């Protein structure tokens, strides 16, 4: 059967299949660059929570935790690799959602496919596609809520099809609400859908009560993953964030009361309220930013011409009521996308209570994934405009060449070649930054801490929760040096954390107070027990003055007090070279602006070299001082 004799529906399915297979190339790239170990931010916590079937930090992320437990039990790979595969599959689903939304809206599969590819090259989407963390699922829900909205409001759909799309939207709203609260930024889609299906006299369903009740039921069903938190939080196990034994505990966890329900970080003075919004726009429209090499022109063109009411026009159609309905439907959908982008990309970043440092910008950039999904959708609108204009110009050119016997088509192929070339260039540029493959900096640091610690030692961490959960992951999941005790000093302000340590370590004793954290009390207790105590950072001024002259390693010996006569400096230097050989072979080391979180961790390797340089300076050995400083600068980007 030839393509001309095949049914039209079969040809449509084949074209969709080709597009899905084309997007599988992006899936393969994501899988190839997927993480194989601990990554920055909350990665170590999610790895531990999935391995122990525990509870993540508020709001709990129960749906992602359940998906992680499922895929890690099915795949014969490590947990970091399993969660990286899950992130790649979720992002692939996001690209499919963008494709199906635009295919239905523009009636042009090539435009929809190119727009999905443009979204797939976004640095924020790409990073989370290779990162074993929960944010990729947020983009997936945003894309598929758009799919259901487009299908439900399509004037060419029957009432039954619109009802089914509404049911899918209601269920996915519930599921996304059980994942991440920022899904509320997609509210313009929901408001438009509710108005058109249940309030508008022209387009509402014939029977609104029944579908509304079913939709509410499906929404509540979508919230049922939170029951997992109630089941898993009964025991305050190591690796979990708190204990959840009552519905009140579950409600507090859902509302994020430990962090502040409406807070997203700590306010940094001197930061203008618009700082992160402008930072997002700079990344969006930079030549080598989120959408590099001019790919940002497509969504910008879509926004501009939509605002000028130049698209969509019912090209080739008369001024029929059906044509006007088609145009109105398209404009409403694009308007909702634009409002979602404004909410997620311009308004919400003003509420991020984070400073201007590189680490603050890195944390804030995690929230830029959601607006980039809508940028991909608006890119499809811009491409549709370009293709409409290119076809129109070709038609006019062929009409002007009446004496020619052949029809010449050159603008559309030229546009195709240009888009493909830019996509390839963008993929080549983004792969090194978006890939998380073999970025073992944090795990190497956590392993070095455990390797250096004496038997039964207590290690105190003052700043980095990634290190705390990284060590916890190595001890709980990989069973490495379980005799070492790691205490995260900031978490001592939470009673559940103190109770967790008391239940896990028989010798641990600490009097909890929410506003008075005393690391000295812990040090004094372990002094009485005769157990060694080390600190990952000299966070106390008195500790700096007491111990800076004796370099120990990535941790500093706080108890027992160092001997007055340190080991010979050449012996210490040899030990440092031997201990850090594994990390020194990892090249390149993290970049100061692109990888600020691991940069702060790796910089700690410079501390013992700087301290050793002080020792050599007091011994008046300038060559040795320069050598130690040169080696220290290797870890200071």
Give the contacts of 603 (CB within 8 A, at least 6 positions apart). Answer: 635, 636
Of residues 225 and 322, more confidently modeled: 225
Compute how many other C-beta atoms are within 10 angstroms of the C-beta atom of residue 203: 16
Compute how many other C-beta atoms are within 10 angstroms of the C-beta atom of residue 107: 14
Q: What is the pLDDT of residue 551?
A: 57
How many angstroms separate the CA atoms of 318 and 496, rounded? 68
How many angstroms separate the CA atoms of 371 and 348, rounded? 10
Please state which of the ranges 150-154, 312-316, 376-380, 459-463 shows the lowest mean pLDDT.
Answer: 312-316
Query: Binning pLDDT at 50, 70 and 90, where does residue 530 land?
Result: confident
Average pLDDT, the chain: 84
What are the tokens at 145? 């809520």
Q: Averaged over 30-55, what is the pLDDT?
A: 90
Residue closest to 423 by CA, chosen among 280, 283, 334, 298:
298
How many angstroms separate the CA atoms of 356 and 378, rounded? 29
Q: Please tell me whether the peptide bond between 312 and the residue prior to it is cis, using omega within 30 degrees of 0.
A: yes
Q: What is the pLDDT of residue 582?
A: 63
Please state which of the ranges 159-168, 202-211, 584-593 shows the lowest mean pLDDT.
Answer: 584-593
Name the helix (H) or strand (E) containing 19. Answer: helix 8-32
> Taking a C-beta distance cutoff of 8 angstroms, is the pair 479, 553 a contact?
no
Q: What is the pLDDT of residue 319?
A: 57
Compute how many other C-beta atoms are within 10 angstroms of the C-beta atom of residue 144: 22
Q: What is the pLDDT of residue 564?
A: 56
At 121-176, the pLDDT tens digits run: 999 999 999 999 899 999 999 999 999 999 999 888 888 999 999 999 999 999 99
Supply the Cα-derived Rg of the chain in whole angstroms: 28
Give the chain's length: 637
Q: Residue 252 pLDDT > 90, yes or no? A: no
At 222-235, the pLDDT tens digits run: 999 999 998 888 88
Q: Averaged over 344-371, what is the pLDDT?
A: 88
Give the contacts of 279 (CB within 8 A, at least 6 positions apart). Answer: 349, 361, 364, 365
Q: Averaged over 301-315, what is the pLDDT?
A: 67
Q: Residue 403 pLDDT > 80, yes or no? A: no
| Selection from 15-24, 96-105, 199-208 with the highest mean pLDDT | 96-105
Which residue's structure tokens are 């930024």?
Answer: 185
Compute how many other C-beta atoms are within 10 angstroms of the C-beta atom of residue 17: 10
Q: Averaged over 249-276, what is the pLDDT?
A: 78
Query: Binning pLDDT at 50, 70 and 90, where does residue 352 land?
Result: confident
Residue closest to 214 by CA, chosen among 177, 254, 174, 182:
174
Please name every residue paired with 103 in a beta bridge, in sequence order, or none if there are none: none
Residue closest to 166 by CA, chosen among 218, 103, 203, 201:
218
How many angstroms separate the CA atoms of 322 and 303, rounded? 25
H-assigned helices in 132-233: 135-153, 159-177, 187-198, 209-222, 226-232
How far, CA to CA in Å, does 522 sit from each of 343, 413, 470, 554? 46, 70, 21, 20
Q: Residue 286 pLDDT > 80, yes or no? A: yes
H-assigned helices in 223-274: 226-232, 247-254
> Taking a C-beta distance cutoff of 8 angstroms, is the pair 467, 449 a contact?
yes
Q: Assign 3-class secondary structure to 526-564.
A: HHHHCCCEEECCCCCHHHHHHHCCCCCCCCEEEECCCCC
How many angstroms separate the CA atoms of 382 and 114, rounded? 11
Query: Binning pLDDT at 50, 70 and 90, where does residue 593 land?
Result: confident
Please name every residue paired with 459 in a beta bridge, in sequence order, or none if there are none: 486, 534
What are the tokens at 4? 């001309």
At 80-123, the pLDDT tens digits run: 999 999 999 999 999 999 999 999 998 888 899 999 999 999 99
| Selection from 185-194, 294-303, 359-368, 626-635 with the highest mean pLDDT | 185-194
Q: What is the pLDDT of residue 630?
A: 87
How many angstroms separate the CA atoms of 637 and 633, rounded? 7
Query: Binning pLDDT at 50, 70 and 90, where does residue 554 land?
Result: confident
Q: What is the pLDDT of residue 1?
A: 43
Q: What is the pLDDT of residue 187?
A: 94
Q: What is the pLDDT of residue 190?
A: 94
Q: What is the pLDDT of residue 523?
A: 83
Q: Averaged over 418-445, what is the pLDDT?
A: 88
Q: What is the pLDDT of residue 562?
A: 59
Angle between helices 569-579 and 441-452 (to 10 degrees): 130
Name the helix (H) or strand (E) containing 575. Answer: helix 569-579
Q: Residue 5 pLDDT > 50, yes or no? A: no
Q: Over the range 308-325, which residues count as b (16 or more CB within 10 Å of their CB) and which as e? A: eeebbeeeeeeeeeeeeb
**To the nearest whole percent, how much of the chain has pLDDT over 90?**
33
How many angstroms separate the CA atoms of 129 and 564, rounded? 52
Strand-pair category, 556-559 with 533-535? antiparallel
Q: What is the pLDDT of residue 373?
A: 95
Q: Residue 342 pLDDT > 50, yes or no? A: yes
Of residues 97 and 40, more confidently modeled: 97
Of residues 358 and 484, more confidently modeled: 484
Q: What is the pLDDT of residue 402?
A: 62
Q: What are phi and psi of 522, to 5 degrees?
A: -70, -40
Provide the phi-psi class of 206: left if phi over 0, else alpha when psi is between -120 and 50, else beta: alpha
SS3 250: helix
Compute how many other C-beta atoms are within 10 angstroms of the C-beta atom of residue 405: 5
Q: What is the pLDDT of residue 317?
A: 46
Q: What is the pLDDT of residue 2?
A: 44
Q: What is the pLDDT of residue 3?
A: 45
């Amino acid at each position: 059967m030839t393509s001309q004799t095949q049914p039209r529906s079969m040809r449509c399915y084949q074209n969709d299949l080709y597009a899905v297979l084309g997007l599988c190339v992006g899936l393969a790239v994501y899988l190839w660059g997927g993480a194989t170990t601990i990554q920055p931010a909350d990665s170590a916590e999610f790895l531990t929570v999935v391995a122990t079937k525990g509870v993540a930090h508020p709001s709990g992320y129960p749906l992602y935790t359940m998906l992680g437990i499922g895929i890690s039990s099915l795949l014969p790979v490590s947990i970091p690799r399993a969660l990286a595969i899950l992130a790649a599959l979720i992002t692939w689903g996001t690209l499919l959602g963008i494709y199906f939304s635009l295919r239905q809206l523009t009636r042009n599969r090539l435009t929809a496919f190119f727009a999905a590819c443009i979204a797939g090259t976004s640095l924020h989407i790409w990073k989370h596609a290779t990162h074993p963390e929960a944010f990729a699922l947020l983009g997936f829900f945003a894309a598929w809520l758009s799919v259901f909205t487009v299908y439900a409001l399509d004037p060419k759909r029957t009432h039954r099809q619109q009802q089914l799309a509404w049911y899918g939207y209601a269920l996915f709203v519930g599921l996304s609400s059980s994942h991440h609260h920022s899904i509320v930024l997609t509210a313009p889609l929901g408001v438009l859908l509710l108005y058109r299906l249940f309030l508008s006299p022209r387009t509402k369903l014939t029977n609104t009560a029944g579908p509304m009740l079913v939709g509410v039921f499906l929404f509540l069903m979508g919230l049922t993953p939170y029951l997992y938190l109630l089941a898993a939080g009964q025991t305050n196990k190591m690796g979990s964030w708190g204990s959840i034994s009552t519905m009140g505990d579950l409600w507090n966890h859902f509302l994020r009361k430990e962090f502040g329900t409406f807070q997203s970080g700590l306010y940094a003075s001197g930061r203008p309220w618009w700082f992160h919004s402008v930072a997002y726009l700079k990344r969006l429209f930079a030549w080598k930013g989120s959408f590099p090499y001019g790919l940002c022109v497509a969504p910008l063109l879509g926004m501009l011409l939509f605002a000028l009411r130049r698209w969509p026009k019912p090209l080739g159609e008369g001024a029929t009521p059906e044509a006007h309905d088609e145009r109105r439907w398209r404009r409403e959908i694009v308007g909702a996308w634009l409002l979602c982008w404004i909410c997620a990309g311009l308004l919400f970043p003003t509420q991020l209570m984070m400073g201007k440092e590189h680490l603050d910008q890195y944390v804030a950039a995690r929230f830029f994934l959601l607006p980039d999904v809508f940028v991909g959708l608006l890119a499809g609108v811009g491409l549709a405009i370009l293709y409409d204009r290119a076809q129109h110009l070709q038609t006019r050119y062929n009409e002007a060449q009446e004496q020619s016997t052949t029809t010449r088509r050159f603008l559309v192929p030229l546009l195709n070649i240009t888009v493909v070339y830019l996509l390839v260039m963008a993929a080549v540029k983004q792969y090194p930054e978006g890939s998380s493959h073999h970025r073992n900096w944090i795990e190497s640091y956590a392993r070095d801490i455990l390797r250096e610690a004496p038997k039964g030692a207590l290690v105190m961490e003052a700043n980095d929760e990634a290190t705390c959960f990284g060590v916890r992951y190595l001890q709980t999941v990989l069973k490495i040096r379980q005799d070492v005790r790691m205490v995260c000093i900031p978490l001592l302000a939470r009673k559940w954390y103190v109770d967790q340590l008391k239940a896990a370590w028989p010798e641990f004793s600490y009097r909890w107070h929410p506003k008075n954290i005393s690391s000295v009390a812990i040090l004094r207790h372990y002094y009485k027990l005769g157990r060694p105590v080390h600190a990952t950072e000299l966070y106390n001024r008195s500790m700096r003055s007491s111990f800076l002259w004796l370099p120990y390693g990535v941790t500093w010996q706080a108890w027992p007090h160092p001997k007055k006569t340190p080991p010979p400096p050449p012996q210490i230097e040899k030990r440092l070279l031997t201990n850090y050989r594994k990390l020194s072979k990892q090249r390149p080391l993290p970049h100061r602006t692109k990888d600020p979180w691991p940069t702060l961790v790796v910089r700690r390797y410079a501390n013992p070299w700087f301290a050793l340089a002080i020792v050599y300076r007091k011994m008046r050995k300038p060559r040795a001082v320069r050598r130690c400083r040169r080696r220290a600068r290797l870890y200071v980007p």
